[in-house]
A and B are shown apart, each in its own frame.
Chain A
Amino acid sequence: MQSRLKTIRWQGIATPLVAVFLALLVGAGFILFVGENPLTAYRILFMESLGSVRNIATTLQRATPLMFTGLAVAFAYRAGLFNIGAEGQLYMGAFAAAWVGFTFTALPRLIHLPLAILAGMIGGALWGAIPGFLKAKLGIHEVINTIMLNFIALYLTDWLATGPFHGGSWVPETARVSASAALARLYPPTRLSSGIYLALLAALIAYLILWKTKQGYELRAVGLNPQAAEYGGINVAKNTIIAMAISGALAGLAGTEQILGLHQRFIVRFSADLGFMGVAVALLGKNHPVGVLLAAILFGALQTGSAAMDRLTSVPRELITIIQALIIFFVAADYLIRRILRMKEEA
């Protein structure tokens, strides 16, 4: 029994590692395809993402929004919900934060910055609560609704930032947020912002809510078995809405950090799949806050290193997108990996 438990725990860590290894292996095939040496390409990828303090700072900057979206997907997952609407919640949060940032410019920093962050959380939470509500009250599966809401948010913020709140320049973006609402840059000239502290705090709070509160116990109970939870006196409908709202708030924070930290204005379609990558990060991190942080750093590192790899070799930087997709394939097919591992044990 003891050794069986140990095996399960070991497999929990082994599966993601094997998945990353397999993805890099298949990625090497793509590198060979374009006529480069995989070892050279991967060495550049590693050195340029983690080889110096400055590179590490850039890696963390790239990882920050993924930490939030990864936490968002993982939090919903723990409550038995599949939130692939992080992309849309991110946009709504981002716009709300930007709006507070460029509208209430007379406020002192001490009030303005927290207010903008709060707005970002609320924007994401409301957008996340919609599919939660539709599932709780009408029993509609959240996957389709979150996909639809992604596009609605994309076009809605597109309209807001090019119509009523257009910044006046020829580019599709709003006015700049005032300095009083901007997150501090931690390590110039890299663009790492103090948003990373928010991400770490969010991970801690997500952990505490899920495993140290009665609310979290209820959420996880619903996630494990909604019928049993309902029978045990837990209000499944209420918990579904709460889980989606908190998940949405976390995704909204991803957008908030990108706006107040990186871009300092709302730019139409700035996200480039940060929300969808959150699915990958959550899966790889086994839907645990610590795992999510580590997975986000890995993805941030891959993205950071890819620019240099693109510059120094003939490997297009999209190799990294392919590798990230492969990681999802392999983690999702943990049935396959478990079989591979078992074969090794038996051999």
Chain B
Amino acid sequence: MGDILALLFNTAVFGAALRMATPLIFAALGGIFSERSGVVNIALEGMMLMGAFTAMFVSHQTGMPWLGVLGAILAGLLVGLLHAVFCIHYRANQVVVGTAINIFAGGLTVFLLRYYFGAAGTSPSVATIPDITIPLISQIPWIGRIIGRQNPLVYLALIAVVVAHIVIYRTSWGLRLRAVGEHPRAADTVGVNVFRMRYLAVALSGALAGLGGTYLSIAHLSRFSEGMTAGRGFIALAAVIFGKWTPYGALGACLFFGYADALQMRLQDIGIPTQFMNMLPYVLTMVALAGFIGKSVGPKASGQPYIKG
């Protein structure tokens, strides 16, 4: 019993949980902005994948990983705009467009990988963003070992959660965003430009998901490999729902899913198959949707194209 407790409350596991959660946090924040504006975004997976590839590619070409971060944000933004154009302007079914983007990103990244780097399913190793030590915090016992020395992107993700919360709940832009997602007609009547709000939100969503992908290819690892997001975009989507479309809620969900991920290998040693831990986020999200742990209800106008009239 003592062994299991030591296993569950291990600073190394908590540290790993935070790292596993980082790409999820970025993508989930992206999901929140998009869904809050009324556009369903199941394309987070594809946006992350494009971000991961672009970050690796720019870092490979320039040797400067921070430029890779910028490149990934830009790539995610462009994919976000693609999603926005089809969903908002051409009124295409948002789930269908999301599916198309995921397939598109899976194809395009491997297409480019093979064109630039030959037949292998993995890119060469590239320059990564090094971990940093936060002076005073790293001295604190226990907590210091969890958050004292991490990747800058890990800290950035945590900051982004707070910023997203403030933007959504404490600014007039956030109020308009929520209005557009709940009742676009009413928002339109009082002079909010529904199309522009949605374009901005979906582009931001792509940029954030791209940033999440960055962490995978040039921080967590130092290369891009085929399909390396491995469903994380969908786990992020699950975190959005599980966290009831709020930044802090999503943060909690991402940390919990990251924790489950970090525990995988250790739990396998005591006989729990890794696949069961992999399933956990998806099972919990279904349970949350069914209302067993406080009902999750999304923005009202989510999924419906707005037709000005």
Output the least CB separation between A87 and chain B (Å): 11
Chain B residues with CB under 8 A of A277: 103
Contacts of A276 in B (CB 8 A): 99, 102-103
Contact of A332 with B102 in the complex, beta carbons under 8 Å: no
Contacting pair B106 A321 (CB below 8 A): yes
A contact residues around B100 at 8 Å (CB): 280, 325-326, 328-329, 332
Contact of A325 among B90, B107, B238, B283 (CB under 8 A): B107
* Beta-carbon nearest neighbor of B119 in chain A: A316
Query: How many B residues touch the partner, as a band?
Result: 35 or more
Chain A positions within 8 Å of B95 at CB level:
82, 84, 143
A147 within 8 A of B: yes
The reply to whether B289 and A318 contact each other, CB–CB distance below 8 Å, is: no
CB distance A279 to B111 under 8 Å? no
Report whether B279 and A151 are in contact in the complex, using a CB–CB cutoff of 8 Å: yes
Q: Which of A140, A148, A318, A329 sits near B107, CB closer than 8 Å?
A: A318
Taking the complex as formed, is A235 at the interface, i.e. its CB lies under 8 A from any CB of chain B? no
In the bound complex, how far is the Cα of B115 from the Cα of A322, in angstroms?
Answer: 14
Q: Which residues of B contact A333 (CB under 8 A)?
A: 86, 90-92
| Contact present for A318 and B92 (CB under 8 Å) | no
Residues of B within 8 A of A34 (CB): 115
Q: Which of A30, A144, A162, A283 contacts B289 (CB 8 A)?
A: A144
Q: Is the interface of A mostly helix, strand, loop or mixed?
A: helix
- Which residues of A lie under 8 Å from residue B257 when comparing CB positions? none
A328 adjacent to B99 (CB under 8 Å): yes
B275 near A155 with CB under 8 A, answer: yes
Q: Which of B70-96 contact A (CB under 8 A)?
A: 86, 90-93, 95-96
Instruction: Name the CB-closest residue of A to B286.
Output: A148
- A10 contacts B by Cβ under 8 Å: no
Max chain A C-beta neighbours (<10 A), residue from B99, B237, B290: B99
| B169 within 8 Å of A (CB atoms) | no
Is A197 positioned at the interface, with any CB of B under 8 Å from its CB?
Answer: no
- A319 CB–B CB distance under 8 Å: yes
How many residues does chain A have at the interface if contact means C-beta atoms less than 8 Å apart? 44
Quick check: is A336 within 8 A (CB to CB) of the other chain?
yes
Q: Tell me, in angstroms, the Cα distance from A34 to B114 when the chains sit together.
A: 11
Nearest B residue to A334 via CB reads B92
In the assembled complex, the Cα of A325 lies from the Cα of B79 at a distance in Å of: 13
Residues of A within 8 A of B108 (CB): 318, 322
Query: Would you call B99 and A143 a contact (CB within 8 A)?
Result: no
Q: Is B104 a contact partner of A316 (Cβ separation < 8 A)?
A: no
7 CB-based A-B contacts, threshold 8 Å: A140-B290, A143-B40, A147-B237, A152-B283, A316-B114, A320-B107, A332-B100
A contact residues vs B (CB 8 Å cutoff): 30, 34, 82, 84, 134, 138, 140, 143-145, 147-149, 151-152, 155-156, 158-159, 162-163, 273, 276-277, 279-280, 283, 314, 316, 318-322, 324-326, 328-329, 332-336
Apart from A148-B282, A332-B97, what 16 extra A-B contacts exist at CB < 8 Å?
A147-B237, A148-B286, A152-B283, A155-B278, A162-B275, A276-B99, A318-B107, A318-B108, A318-B110, A319-B107, A321-B106, A328-B99, A329-B92, A332-B100, A333-B86, A333-B91
